[in-house]
Amino acid sequence: MISQKSSPEPLAAHLRQIAGRVGIAQLLLLLLAGGLTWLLVDYARMLLLRRKMPPGPFPYPIIGNTFQLPDKKPWIYFEQLAKEYNSGIITFWIGRNPTVWLNDAQTASDLLDKRAATFSSRPHMVVFGDLAFGQASLVTMYYGDRFRVHRKLTHMGVGMQQVRGYQNLQSDENKVVLYDLLTDSENYVTHFERYAASVVSIIGYGRRISKVTDPIITEVIYLMQRAAEHNVPGKSFPMLLETFPILAKFPKWMAPWMKNFRKPRAKNFFYALAEEAATNPDGNDCYSKKLFEQGPKYNLSDVELSTLSGSLFGAGSDTSSSTLVTFVLACCAFPETLTKAWEELDRVVGPHRSPNFEDEANLVYVKALVKEVLRWRSVAIIGGQPHAPIQDEIYKGWLIPKNTWVQGNVWAIHRNEREFPDPDRFDPERYLKDGANSRPFPNERGYMTFGWGRRVCVGQALAEQGTFISIARLLWAFNIQKALDGNGNEIPVDIFDYTDGLNIRPNPFKCRITPRNDEIRRTIEREGKQAQEDLAIYNGETKYRITTYRETE
C-alpha cells in the first residue's frame, strides 16, 4: 500500500493554533504581570502616604480598611479608634483612599473653623455626588464661585436677617402642636413632623401643612429618612461604591446593585413644588418665588432650582422633628431636670400665656436645657457631608492631602470627657456658668451640632430659634413622663436606642404627655385656636405627589 502524505493546509492551521495559544498565554502573563506591578506600586503609594498621615489601622491593598467597618453606627467605632490611638484625629482607608476622622472639639475647630478657607470644599463622592445631583447641589458642591452663589441664594431664604421674620409663624405652628397634643399625645412624633415640615413649607412654598396625613409628611420625610440611612460609611451597597467606584460604571442590566439608581431629572418633584408656588398669582411670598425671580440673573438651571428649594425642606424638617423627639426621650430618662425648668417658667411666664421669644433672656435654665438637647444626641451625628481641603495641609506634623475626605465625628466630640464629664447624662447645668460640669469649649455655643466653617448648616439660626420656642413651650405646657405598663409600672427607656442613619433619632418609644394644670390647658386651647386662625392664610394643597411624580430615565 502507498501511504498518503499529510496535506500542508491542516499542518499550517495546526501550527497557527499553537502560536495563537502561545500568544494568548504570553498576553495573559503580560497582563498579570502588569496588574501585579500596578498593585505593588499603588500599595507602596498607600503605605508611603500612611506614614505621613494621622494614625489609624493598617490598610490592605485595594480594599483599605473597608472590611473593618461595623454594620451599624460607625461613629461609635471611630470614637473607639480615637481612644485606641490616643489621638483626636485618625486615618481610615476607604478602599484606596484615606479618610480623616476628627474626634474631638479642638481638632475639629482647628481645621474646619480656623482653616475654613482651606477645608470648605467637598471630596469626590460617588453615591451622593455622581449618582445624585453632583455639582448642581450645594450639599455636594465643590468650594468655588458657584458654591458662593448657592450659599448667597440660600441665605436669601434662611439667613440671619430673614430668620427673625419667621418667628410669628414658628410660634403659631408650635401653639398648634400643643393644642394637638392635648387630644392626641400618643402620636407626638407625627405632630412634631407636621410642625417642622409646615414651617419650612411656608418659608419655601408659601403653603402650610395643616394635617398629619399631608403627602409631605407621609412621603417626603420618609424619603429623607431613607436617604439618611444610606449616607453613612459602610461595606454594603450603596456606600460600597465609595470603596470600588468602578462598580458605578457598570450598566444596569449587568449590575443589580445599580437597579435603585436613576439619574435625577431636572424637573423633579421639588422643582414641581417650587414652580407651583412661584407661578401661583394668589400665593404667598416665599423662597421659591425669590428663586425663580433670581434664576435668570444667576443662570440657574432647572436642577439647581430643584436642589435649592428641596435642600431647604430636607434640611429643616426631619432634623428639627428628630431633635424634639430626643427632647422627649431626655425628659423621660432624666425627669429630675424638669423641676428647675418648671420653676423658672412659672416665675417668668405663668399659666395664662405661653412663653414667647421675648422671654428668652430671662429663661436661663431653659436655654441651657435646649443646648443640652442639641449636644446630648445631635441629629447630624457625623456632621453632615464630609469636608475636603483644597490643598495639602499639615496639622501637628501630619499630612492631610488635598481632596481628602474629612469627617467630623459629632458623636465622639460631644461625648469627650474633657469637655463633657459623664457625657451620657442629660445635664443642662453643664451650660450654666456656675454649673458643676461646666467646661471650656472651642466655640461660644458649646456644641458643634450644625457643622463648621463655611459649610455650617445654613438653617442653623432658624433651627435654633425653632428649637428654643418649641422646647420652652413643651416644658411650660406638659409633664412628660415614661409610659406605664398594664400594672401601672413605668416602662424604662433606652437612651442608646437610636436609628442608624446620617441623621439619627430615637427609635419609637411610648410616653405620657399631660397638661401641667387646668389653667395651662385652657391657655393651650385658647392660643391653639387663635394660631389656627392666624395661619389660615397659608392653607392650601399641592397637586403633586412624590409617588406619582416619578423621575424617569
Q: Which residues are annotated as a binding site?
A: 457
Identify the CA nearest to 543 among candidates 286, 276, 302: 276
CA-CA distance, 321 to 82, in Å (whole number)? 31
Contacts of 13 (CB under 8 A, 6+ apart): none
Q: Which residues are annotated as a binding site for heme?
A: 457
Place of cell 435649592: 308
- Given a contact cutoff of 8 angstroms between Cβ atoms, the answer to whether 210 and 198 are in contact is yes
Q: What is the DSSP letter of 256?
A: G
First to last CA, the chain: 75
Number of C-beta neighbours around residue 111 at 10 A: 24
By CB neighbour count within 10 A (0-12 exposed, 13-18 middle, 19+ buried), where does 247 fall? middle
CA-CA distance, 422 to 362, in Å (whole number)? 28
Q: Would you state the cell numbers that stand for residue 134, as one nine-digit string? A: 453632583
Q: Would you state the cell numbers that stand for residue 65, as one nine-digit string? A: 480598611
> How many residues are given for the chain?
553
Position 184: which residue type? D
State which H helix or E strand residue 400 sits in. Answer: strand 398-400
Identify the CA nearest to 464 among candidates 438, 494, 436, 444: 444
**Secondary structure of 229-241 in the HEC alphabet?**
HHCCCCCCCCHHH
Q: Would you state the cell numbers that stand for residue 120, as one nine-digit string? A: 470648605
- Given a contact cutoff of 8 angstroms between Cβ atoms, the answer to whether 399 and 391 are in contact is no
CA-CA distance, 110 to 452, in Å (whole number)? 10
Per the DSSP assignment, residues forming a β-bridge with 503 are: 380
By CB neighbour count within 10 A (0-12 exposed, 13-18 middle, 19+ buried), where does 35 fall? exposed
By CB neighbour count within 10 A (0-12 exposed, 13-18 middle, 19+ buried), where does 128 fall? buried
- Given a contact cutoff of 8 angstroms between Cβ atoms, the answer to whether 159 and 203 are in contact is no
Whether a cis peptide bond, with omega within 30° of 0, leads into 98 is: no
